Each structure stands twice: as C-alpha cells, then as structure tokens.
Structure 1
Amino acid sequence: MPVFPGRRRLRASTLLTVLVLPGVLTGCGGSPGPATLTVLATSSLTEVFGEMGTAYHQEHPGVKLRFVFGDSPEMVDRLSDHTPGDVLVTADRASMDDAAEYLTGRRSIVTHDSLTIAVGPGNPRRIRSLYDLTRPGLRVAVGAGTVPVGRYTRQVFAKAGLSVRWNSEEIGARAVLDRIRSGEADAGIVYITDLRSAGVAASSVPIPADLNVTAAFPAATVRDSEHEAEADAFVSWLLAPAAQKLFHKYGFPSPAPPS
C-alpha cells in the first residue's frame, strides 16, 4: 500500500459521500426556498449528522442542510479549490488550521473522541494491547501521517514508547476499518465511534486512558458562505443540548470539551 505524502495525493483516493436528507431539500413551489447550507464534514460524523440533520430541520424549517463527507484534508482541499461550502467540520485542529484562510469567526470544538484498536471479529490474532502491534508477522493498518487519525495514532505510539511497523497507511479511520473488515489487516487504529459503526464486522481492543489521546472535532463557518448567519447558527447549535445528546447517542463523549 503506497504512502501518501500530502493532501493532494490523498485526494485522488478519497470517496466522498453526499447525504441529502429526505424532505429537507424540498422547497415550496413558487416561493423563495429556505437557505441551503453545505456542511463539509469528516466521514466519522456520517451517522450522527444524518440524524442531526433531521433534528435541525425540525427546529429550523427555514434552513436546508446538505452534508458532504470525506477525510478532513479532502474537505480542506475543496475549500482551496473554491468549491462552495458553508460550514467545515474536521477531526482535528491541524486540519482546521490548514483551512484558516477560508474560514471566519470563532472555531468551536463540537465533540471529541478517542482511539481504539480494531481487530477482526472475535479477535482471531489474540491481540491484547498496543504492545502486541509490534508482533512479527502482524498486519497493521494506520492512518497516513497527513490525516487526523494518523496524527493521533502516532501520538499514541509515542506515549507508549512503541515503534510499530505498519503494512499500510490509509486516507482516514474508515479506510483503516475497511482493511480490518475485508481481512486485509489484522489490526488497525480507529476512532471508538468508527468502530461502533462496523457492528459485528470488527471487534475492539481498548487503549488505556493514560496512553490514549483526545481527538477534537472543530467546526467553523466558511468565509465565502452566502448564508453566514445561518451557518453561524448551525455551528452554535452543535453545542446545544439537543445536538450534544445525539453525539452521546452515537458514542461521542458528552458534553463537548471547551473550545
């Protein structure tokens, strides 16, 4: 598996998901439609944002939501290419820093996460801890060093004092998880919430709190948004009790840490 040295190399391998919520993107015939917000978000938020979109529309019927999901660097690249967007949500602060010139207003950490070791169903290789990832012959998948989950993974390995020889570097946590689900890797480091999305297709080996990291998910309004007020309101709503309750439902710790 090739190593991806930068965002542009990652981009060619990224599969974007666009989520259009039933009933949310329907305007009223003949009358001005509601504002349409395009939310560019990390793939790790796919499931929770699906439900949040419905909840937000119920509270704000004058706003339509369109979610575009992919790895965080790809979302930043879309802004650098002047692809329209109103809100950016990434999986770490570094990705948000890369997009700073395209953003306006205050960044808000809307939720956070931690890492876990993903293994095959039933843990056939009997992996018990991070230290087992150094075992000869074990196929390990990690995120590339240019994507959030890859940066977090390297922090965990450094805290544990480990030198892990991985077999593949992937474009994001979901891609690492796909390696486990397909049987192409024996173990990989992913977000706890991504592991939950795999259901019975993967098992988990916990990483102790003293060796783990806190993954921060910041959100901000895009500078060129045609609906800046509505975008600011959506970012603020992500910190509201209704949104935090949904984050918690999908396994994200609640409440969100301070920005």
Structure 2
Amino acid sequence: MSLRNMTIRMARFSTALLALGILLPAALSGCAAQGSAPDSSTGGTPSGTITVFAAASLKATFTELAHTFEAQHPGTKVTLSFAGSSDLAGQLSQGAPADVFASADTANMKKVQDAGLADGTPKEFATNTLAIAVPPGNPAGITSLQDLARPGIKLVTCARQVPCGAATAKVAQAAGLALSPVSEENAVTDVLGKVTSGEADAGLVYGTDIKAAGSSAKGIPFPEAGSAVNTYPIAGVATGRNKATAQAFLDLVTGPEGQKVLAAAGFGPPAQGAGSK
C-alpha cells in the first residue's frame, strides 16, 4: 500500500471517530432525557385517572370531594367504587386495581396492610358512630336501643364482618342485649335502603347515613353508641399506577377542605395525633 493511500485511509478513520464522538454523547443525552421525563405515577403534577375504593358510608362526601379534586386539577378523573370495607379489602387482596383505599374501620385497613397492599402509613381522617334509623313516622314506636330487642320488631343490621356490623355487636354487648335481625347486609347503605323502603321497622346505621337520607328516614340517637366509635383510615394502594394523583387526593381528604366536607356530613374528627392502627 502506498504512503498516499495510507494517509487517505487514516484521514477517513479520524473523521469517522470524530463523528462518532459527536453523535454518541447526543444519543446518550437523548436517552437520559427520555428516562427522566415526568411520570404522574411517581411525582409531579396530578394528571390522569385514579380509582378510589371507599366505604359505603363515604359515598356522599367522597363524591363531592371527587368533583372538587377534578375541578382543582384539570385533566384528572376520579373513579369511585363504594362497598362494605370488608368487601373492598377482599377485592384488593384478589388483585382488583385501585389507587386509594378508604376504610370505615382500622381492622379492614390492617388486612390490606398485612397483605403488603398499603402504600405507606394509613392516615386516620374521620370518626363515626351508630344511630337507629326508622321510617318516617316511626310506625313501630322505636325510642331506644332496648326497643330493638322487642318481639316482632323487624330489625336490619350490617353483617358482623362489615365495620357497622362489628360496631353493632359491640354496642349490643355493652348494653347486654341479644339482637335478632331479620336481615344482615354487607353495606350500611343496604341497611338504610331496607328502612327507607319500609321493609324494616329499624336499622342500625351511621348517623351520617341518616343525615344524608334527609326526610326518607328518621334518626334516633342512643347513648350506648359511644361504646363503638369507628375510626376511618385512608391510604394509597401499593399496586396503584398513579401515585402522584393518588397522594394529591389523600391530601385533599385529610386536609382542611376535606375535613370541612366531612364535618358538614356529620363525621367526627380523627383522634388528635392519630396515625396508623
């Protein structure tokens, strides 16, 4: 090979190396930029859709808060799923997709925690107590918890595994009563539905449910209710895909605006300094 040819080949090789040296950093830079793009699932401005699993007793308040959240964060959508807390916890353990879980008691939240499905430490955001719901006019003449044990009274309660059912068992035990419901429901809203439709003489539900029912039901408070105060915790779901938006919704519920909506519905505040239980 002549000296001239060798010189030409060396010049071409140097040019190729120079071009590679310019293009490679640019390509790497482009990959890095792509990898660091904001992801609504890990941080940044809330966007996209989240699915919220919430106890049936939260239907009115969470529906209002979902509308507020979507108005505050254009481009977001909150899909709500309401049911008994035990049913929702079971659905989560079976792989149902959700981003937020709000339970009507700490026991069902603990099931979710024990399954490794709670994202971080649940935060308690409200309390609730039972009251007796009767149809308008109170045809059975119910005036106290003891009246629910009278022969012939058609009483409807929540099933024991549901938070309102566990609370019912607790207040009955505290009062020394043996209640014999004609039906046990899986959600507190179903109990109230039996009362408002006239299928039951009375039902044990939360005071907030009676308030939300308006003129469809009458509420009768009873002192024994104080022996079973339900605490409501909320947490993100570990398998949720939209972490940032889920956290923003949690912040709304537990913040001043959410607490105002809950208080207006009759919920009590969480215990001072409450956290996970």
Please state which band the TM-score falls in when normalised by the shorter chain.
0.7 to 0.9
Most deviating of 149-158 and 180-189? 180-189
Larger Cα-atom Rg:
2
CA RMSD between the two structures: 1.7
1:38, CA displacement in angstroms? Answer: 0.7
Structure 2 residue corresponding to 1:146, chosen from 161, 173, 182: 161
2:242 is aligned to 227
Distance (Å, rounded) in 2 between the aligned partners of 1:174 and 1:192: 12
1:66, CA displacement in angstroms? Answer: 1.4
Unmatched runs of 5 consecutive residues or more in structure 1: 1-32
Where in structure 1 do 4 or more consecutive aligned residues deviate above 4 Å? Answer: 209-212
CA distance 1:49–1:188, change in 2 (3 Å): same
Q: Per-residue displacement from partner, 1:144-195 (whole Å, max 9, x unpaired)?
A: 1111110011111111111112211111211111111122211110001111
Unmatched runs of 5 consecutive residues or more in structure 2: 1-45
Provide the TM-score with structure 1 as the length reference. 0.82
CA distance 1:39–1:210, change in 2 (3 Å): closer
Q: Are residues 1:119 and 2:134 paired?
A: yes
Structure 2 residue corresponding to 1:53, chosen from 66, 69, 72: 66
1:240 is aligned to 255
Q: Are residues 1:38 and 2:51 paired?
A: yes
Q: Per-residue displacement from partner, 1:32-88 (whole Å, max 9, x unpaired)?
A: x92211111111111111111122223333533111111112211221221211000
2:145 is aligned to 130
2:176 is aligned to 161
CA distance 1:210–1:116, change in 2 (3 Å): closer
Q: Is the 8 A contact 1:244 1:256 kept in 2?
A: no
Q: Is the 8 A contact 1:39 1:65 kept in 2?
A: yes
Q: Percent sequence identity over matched residues?
A: 37
Distance (Å, rounded) in 1 between the aligned partners of 2:78 and 2:181: 39
Distance (Å, rounded) in 1 between the aligned partners of 2:149 and 2:215: 25
Aligned residues between the structures: 226
1:201 is aligned to 216
Most deviating of 67-76 and 33-42? 33-42
Distance (Å, rounded) in 1 between the aligned partners of 2:62 and 2:226: 29
Q: Secondary structure at the match of 2:254?
A: coil
Q: Per-residue displacement from partner, 1:114-173 (whole Å, max 9, x unpaired)?
A: 110011112111111111111111111111111111001111111111111221111121
Equivalent residues in 2 for 1:85-100, closer than 5 Å: 85-100=98-113
Distance (Å, rounded) in 1 between the aligned partners of 2:254 and 2:236: 14
Distance (Å, rounded) in 2 between the aligned partners of 1:64 and 1:185: 38
Distance (Å, rounded) in 1 between the aligned partners of 2:47 and 2:247: 16
2:3 is aligned to none
* Higher share of residues assigned helix: 2
Q: Is the 8 A contact 2:171 2:225 kept in 1?
A: no
Q: Are residues 1:252 and 2:267 paired?
A: yes
